[in-house]
Structure 1
Amino acid sequence: MAHPELPRIVFNGSALDIESIVALAEQRAVAVLDDSPAFLSRIQAGADFVARLLAEDGVIYGVTTGYGDSCTVVIPPELVAELPHHLYTYHGCGAGAYLSPEQTRAVLAVRLQSLSQGVSGVSVDLLRGLVHLLQHDVLPLIPSEGSVGASGDLTPLSYVAAVLCGEREVLWRGERMPAAQALRASGMQPLKLRPKEGLAIMNGTAVMTALACLAWQRSDQVSRLATRVTALNVLASAGNAHHFDESLFAVKPHAGQQRVAQRLRQDLASDRPPRNEQRLQDRYSLRCAPHVIGVLEDALSMLRVWIENELNSANDNPIIDAQGERVLHGGHFYGGHIAFAMDALKAAVANVADLMDRQLALLVDARYNHGLPANLSGAQGARASINHGLKALQISVSAWTAEALKHTMPASVFSRSTECHNQDKVSMGTIAARDCLRVLELTEQVLAGMVIAARQGLALRQRLQPLALTAVLQSMQQQLQDQVPLVEEDMALDGVLRTLVAAQRQRVWGLYES
């Protein structure tokens, strides 16, 4: 069970933010269900209303009818109880890599948050089951492929429903095992889903929204690290800090762009820097860095609202209005906002990767790096002839950048008509989110390469001339010197790259307070 001293995140229908989901995904917080009578009675009222409708021969989609195109098929009363089992069973056709443990925890938390809104007609026991999976880290093995993003993430979420019922497989305590075994060992009895509960678990946007929360957090780190690396590269390449002048940016009021320029001024102590009379203007990858990174910054501000709106929504179908005694059939499972958010975010992130790639191309080229050795080689004397510095690293960074750019084709425009044309307009939100995570993975590799280059370039510049570093850059330089060796003799850098990618995801560097 999760550590009792960790912060508690209470699920009671109140709004949560992206950081709460990320904290649960990273096991820095514990999920708990509100045990107040008011909340529990509100949840139970929905389940009781569904039960009463069934007793009165009411018609409810997915409860007394088949699913999707089969909504005209009437389910005999004696078979209604079996229907949830059939729903998650026939959706057991996922493929591809399994979601990571962090992604799976996020999925469980996001689905729990949606059902905690109290309009899905589910029982308290179902919510407690999801909480149990999170608290005891019983993680359904969820294939990442197979969702078109409406009716929600049906196929991947079927693996959550099945595990709650003791079926399929989980990851528990580092081992893959049957769900029934893990539930038994962790102290939970398998559920028997009530009418509507299978649909409530599966017919929603939990997978795409969970991945979007994780993507947002990683994208925020990309923006911050790209800004810090740019500051280091300005110094390493003898660039011009006056490109980030406050008065200059005051006349173009994009908030994200201004924020990046302010961070660069903070790093470079350049409120009113002198002009470099030998070179009035640097190339775009330095001069326009706030404009490129600023797009990502502004996208993050806008997309946070979209992602958190989806996170805090009830997004299954039908919605159960127990107080008004109505069953509302609609399409809240449609993940269009998340799809667009992820398509936009991956494009903004990939553009930052391209910016870093361009900075590196200048930094390693003796024609453009203003006095540094070719390929940033640290070798000196006769040995310089056989050493190649960061030549291959620049090639790899270029390859990762190209692949990231390739993945920016929007997924949200590739709607397919599925399920006998019932699902004839779908969001592709989960594919967009997976693409965004792949772009982030590649961009984090690009940034890892850039960190190596910035550390190398700064050290080589300091061989040529003394540099007055601000305290924050001195601290960053010391951290990098501790993590990244100076490349004087040719060496394999793959291990260093992996360490730096992990450091980004763990957010080990203090990168700006605002």
Structure 2
Amino acid sequence: MTIAIVPGSNTLADWRQIYWGAPFNLSGSADARINAGAEAVQNIIRKGAPVYGINTGFGKLATVRIEDDQLALLQRNLILSHSVGVGDYLPAQVVRLIGALKVASLSHGASGARLETIRMIEKLIALDLIPAVPAQGSVGASGDLAPLAHFVSSMMGIGEFVVDGKVVPSTEVLAHHGLTPLVLAPKEGLALLNGTQVSTALALAGTFETERAFEAALVTGVLSLEGAKGTDTPFDPRIHALRPHAGQVDVAAALKELVAGSEIRESHRNCSKVQDPYCLRCMPQVMGSCLDALRHSSSILGIEAQSVSDNPLLFENGDVLSGGNFHAEPVAFAADYLALAIVEIGSMSERRSSMLLDTSLSGLPAFLTRDAGLNSGLMMGQITAAALTSENKQKATPAVIDTIPTSANQEDHVSMATHGARRTLPMAQNTQTIIGIELMTAVQACDFHAPLRSSEALERGRSALRAVVPHLEEDRRQSPDIAAATKLVRSGALVDAVGRDLLPII
């Protein structure tokens, strides 16, 4: 389904679909306001009054007046001078989302960009022409200047595209597709590179990957509970009614539903065990807090995604106002909050895997192998999970509290949102792998309870894993198994098999 971008109206679900591959286009309802904004820029030029970014320099050079015959060169020079990004190129999924977010921002008409310029972004992405955008070089204030400059330079024929994994000069790519390089009109360069779209796209990407991890972690958490023959008493709604945090209540209800009807659970209902370790017993509290964090950060990003975040801004009465919407502080806070949730989701998962391997806690064969000593079983998978968990913890230090003045102290406080958001993507992928390892571990543990079966929902999850990862009878290379299990997590296939309707709505 094609997502229509309507000024100020798109939802988080729209951006999620675009990230996972849905095409998008600009709604014709935006045409009038876009054209009005572009005409407002021409009116300013005709009047001759100095207006920042239209006929002045930029940043510390804002007091320098630029003559009319140099306005186009001013915008071109802006893109050239700001193309200073370094590092690896951003993933194609993220760059597609950057393009969609930039179209959404410009569609309000408050930036003064022409309709044909906005349509060019739309067309490039529709043709799967992905601008080569270096990941590093933005401090998240005055917008994501460097990465967006690289995005725009590809449109102008002075940058590069990534085609089939190779970096190709944009002149060649544009010519091959019969496209004319963009020639910037007054203010367009500033409108295109001044904004939070890179930080926001990165934070949204981290969010959408974390959603997959969170949902799968509820499934693997209950599978681990089953493997350890733990109790579902901590999911009783009466407990959570006395501490009614929304996430906690929702997670407890989902966990209780997932285990309902389990033969494994019924087999030990009257056993002598009183309490399970926290990694099982406190899943509603910990995972509920993560759900609340995800919902909160998502609400911030949802607002940012449909906002106008460049400067100056044009208004219908002719006013041109300079402000600070380019400052990505909201995105930085959301990314930091998201990073904390990512760590906790993975940390709980790793602890459950460790618990199942410890025979003194689980009551199962050591490392879930019948011939321990000769075989190491699943010992090493937990070590990989521990390594990834620790790596995530180190990356979770808040980024928003750091600032370095730039542009000769004109831009004296910055958000650092861009790298704060960028780290969430590899962090989420680490957590998906941690959960993939738990999936292998929990299903292996449940295998030892045969012929007892879990609930119908969890049995579908077990079957999904066993279709790609066989029971571990004796030692083998497990890296391919981890990759296959992680793919079930990241693709959403595990949750689809179990039943997405059983899980909380994020």
Output the TM-score relative to the length of structure 1. 0.93
How does 1:100-115 map onto structure 2 within 5 Å? 100-115=91-106
Partners of 1:501 and 1:125 in 2: CA distance: 42
Structure 2 gaps of 5+ residues are none
Q: 2:366 matched to 1:374?
A: yes
Q: CA deviation at 1:316?
A: 0.3
Instruction: Pick one of 329, 338, 347 that aligns with 1:336.
Output: 329
How does 1:174-189 map onto structure 2 within 5 Å? 174-189=165-180
Q: 2:372 matched to 1:392?
A: no
Equivalent residue, structure 1, for 2:425? 437
Instruction: Pick one of 166, 169, 186 that aligns with 2:160.
Output: 169
Partners of 1:9 and 1:84 in 2: CA distance: 31
Partners of 2:98 and 2:289 in 1: CA distance: 28
Partners of 2:394 and 2:165 in 1: CA distance: 35
Equivalent residue, structure 2, for 1:90? 81
Deviations 1:213-254 (A, max 9, x none): 221112222221111111101110011111111111111101
Q: 2:489 matched to 1:496?
A: no
Asked whether the equivalents of residues 469 and 484 of structure 2 are also in contact (C-alpha less than 8 Å), the reply is: no
Q: CA deviation at 1:275?
A: 5.5
Deviations 1:269-314 (A, max 9, x none): 1799896541111011100011111111111222221101000101
Deviations 1:417-445 (A, max 9, x none): 11101111111111111121222121111
Asked whether the equivalents of residues 245 and 270 of structure 1 are also in contact (C-alpha less than 8 Å), the reply is: no
Instruction: Pick one of 293, 298, 306 that aligns with 1:312.
Output: 306
Output the TM-score relative to the length of structure 2. 0.95
Instruction: Pick one of 486, 501, 505 that aligns with 2:490.
Output: 505
Equivalent residue, structure 1, for 2:464? 479
How many residues are treated as equivalent by the alignment?
496
Asked whether the equivalents of residues 220 and 297 of structure 1 are also in contact (C-alpha less than 8 Å), the reply is: no
Partners of 2:492 and 2:175 in 1: CA distance: 36
Asked whether the equivalents of residues 445 and 497 of structure 1 are also in contact (C-alpha less than 8 Å), the reply is: yes
Which region of structure 1 is more displaced relative to structure 2, 240-249 or 180-189?
Answer: 180-189
| Aligned CA distance change for structure 1 residues 357 and 276 (closer, same or farther; 3 Å) | farther
Q: CA deviation at 1:185?
A: 2.0
Partners of 1:301 and 1:25 in 2: CA distance: 18
Partners of 1:34 and 1:310 in 2: CA distance: 19
3-state SS of the aligned residue for 1:32? Answer: strand
Instruction: Pick one of 220, 226, 238 that aligns with 2:217.
Output: 226
Which region of structure 1 is more displaced relative to structure 2, 180-189 or 53-62?
Answer: 180-189
Equivalent residue, structure 2, for 1:235? 226
Deviations 1:173-207 (A, max 9, x none): 55431112212222321110111111111110000
Structure 1 gaps of 5+ residues are 1-6
Give the CA RMSD over aligned residues.
1.7
Asked whether the equivalents of residues 150 and 333 of structure 1 are also in contact (C-alpha less than 8 Å), the reply is: yes
% same residue: 32
Letter in 1 for 2:405: S
Asked whether the equivalents of residues 261 and 454 of structure 2 are also in contact (C-alpha less than 8 Å), the reply is: no
How does 1:101-250 map onto structure 2 within 5 Å? 101-250=92-241
How does 1:38-57 map onto structure 2 within 5 Å? 39-57=30-48
Partners of 1:35 and 1:248 in 2: CA distance: 52
How does 1:341-360 map onto structure 2 within 5 Å? 341-360=334-353
3-state SS of the aligned residue for 1:386? Answer: coil
Partners of 1:146 and 1:420 in 2: CA distance: 17
Partners of 2:6 and 2:179 in 1: CA distance: 21
Equivalent residue, structure 2, for 1:71? 62
Asked whether the equivalents of residues 232 and 458 of structure 1 are also in contact (C-alpha less than 8 Å), the reply is: yes
Instruction: Pick one of 280, 299, 302 that aligns with 1:286.
Output: 280
Partners of 1:417 and 1:394 in 2: CA distance: 43
Partners of 1:175 and 1:23 in 2: CA distance: 26
Q: CA deviation at 1:348?
A: 1.2
3-state SS of the aligned residue for 1:47? Answer: helix
Letter in 1 for 2:365: P
Deviations 1:470-502 (A, max 9, x none): 211111111111121211111111112222333
Instruction: Pick one of 232, 251, 265 that aligns with 1:260.
Output: 251
Partners of 2:261 and 2:207 in 1: CA distance: 30
Q: 2:44 matched to 1:60?
A: no
